[in-house]
Amino acid sequence: MINNNFILTILNLLINLIDVLVVLLPILLSVAFMTIIERKQLAAHQRRVGPQVVGYYGILQPFSDALKLILKETVIPSQSNKVLFYLAPVSTLIFSLLGWAIIPFGQGLTLFDFSLGIFYTLALSSLGVYGILFAGWSANSKYAFLGSLRSTAAMISYELILSSAILIIILLAGSFNFSTIIETQQAVWFIVPLLPIFIFYFIAILAETSRTPFDLQEAESELVAGFFTEHSSVPFVFFFLAEYSSIVLFSCLTAILFLGGYNFPEIIVNNTIINLQAIILGLKTCIFCFMFVWFRATLPRLRYDQLIDLCWVNILPIAVAFIIFVPSLLVAFDIAPY
């Protein structure tokens, strides 16, 4: 006779698995469509048509690209470390997807309402560096290794800026929990009083996701892809998904931290309250996804020394000044939330 506790355990596991799939599958679809949105937007900026052959208005192009890459042969360099060679793309993708576990899509709609959500997000973004290092080191290629070093140096440098901006938001909200931060912005979104902080925060997430003008893994003198030069087929797909998953994730985090997340006035139709919280969060996320592509189409790539100077010489002193200035204002006017 099967124990009832065993049956309940299996049912709980199945329910948790369904919850994860309900969140994960739409995210993977959104990542796929982010690629076609980027190509269409870049085409609009450059007065081109963009993808329009596969499916209506080119909407099935991401699936065609995925099928093409999966069917390609996986080439492994003979002198490479094969364990790290495969571990790098897998770990990069897993760390980028794990960040969605604590995102509140609506009031009470989250996989895990973690009280230290900010710390969890910063830890995952720091762990993503290892995937890039593993990729460059395992390939036993000079170009791949140099690309990984450049990208890692940029990510570590701009994590200081990112952490400084998030620290100021924590001081205003008085909590590390994303749901509490969203509820704190019911009166006013943080982007209004913290506009200068939002500017250097967005610069930091551009560098954190290795996007133009901070995509230093692709050096001008090296016409190669940087740290994943030697990766092809499915490993390359994993790196590609991880990059665009990080873009969508950081766009969503930006909407939560600065635009109030899912907060929006309630809409009442025929005495019925329509809950549009998840849709509102998605629309706000799309704004910042558009900005990622807009910056790529507009700005040229910086040199390595320019990127380091921008971080350590220009932005970091401003960030430290705001870390001192904002709590001083809160204490002076007796409006600190703690």
Q: Which residues contact 330 (CB under 8 A, 6 or more apart)?
A: 171, 172, 336, 337
pLDDT at 191: 92
Q: Are 245 and 27 spatial neighbours (Cβ–Cβ below 8 Å)?
A: yes
Among residues 71, 95, 121, the one where a domain terminates is: 71
Q: What is the mean pLDDT of the chain?
A: 83
122 and 211 share a domain?
A: yes
Q: Are 76 and 82 spatial neighbours (Cβ–Cβ below 8 Å)?
A: yes
Structure letter (DSSP) for residue 274: E
Mean local confidence (pLDDT), 91-109 = 87
133 versus 164: the higher-pLDDT residue is 164
pLDDT tens for each residue of 119-129: 899 888 888 88
Q: What's the token pair of residue 268? A: 């009442």
Range of the domain at 42: 1-71
Mean local confidence (pLDDT), 3-9 = 77
136 and 15 share a domain?
A: no
Mean local confidence (pLDDT), 132-147 = 73
Q: What angle do CA 64, 70, 73 make, to 5 degrees?
A: 130
pLDDT at 57: 83
Taking CA atoms, 219 is separated from 152, 214, 297, in Å, by 14, 11, 18
310 and 179 share a domain?
A: yes
How distant is the alpha carbon of residue 45 from its chain centre? 23
Is residue 271's pLDDT more than 70?
A: no
Q: What's the token pair of residue 130? A: 């290892």
In a domain, 229, yes or no: yes
Q: Could you tell me what percent of the chain has a pLDDT over 70?
A: 90
Is residue 154's pLDDT more than 80?
A: no
In a domain, 338, yes or no: no
Among residues 71, 105, 131, the one where a domain terminates is: 71
105 versus 271: the higher-pLDDT residue is 105
Number of domains in the chain: 2
pLDDT at 220: 52
CA dist., res. 52 & res. 59, Å (int): 8
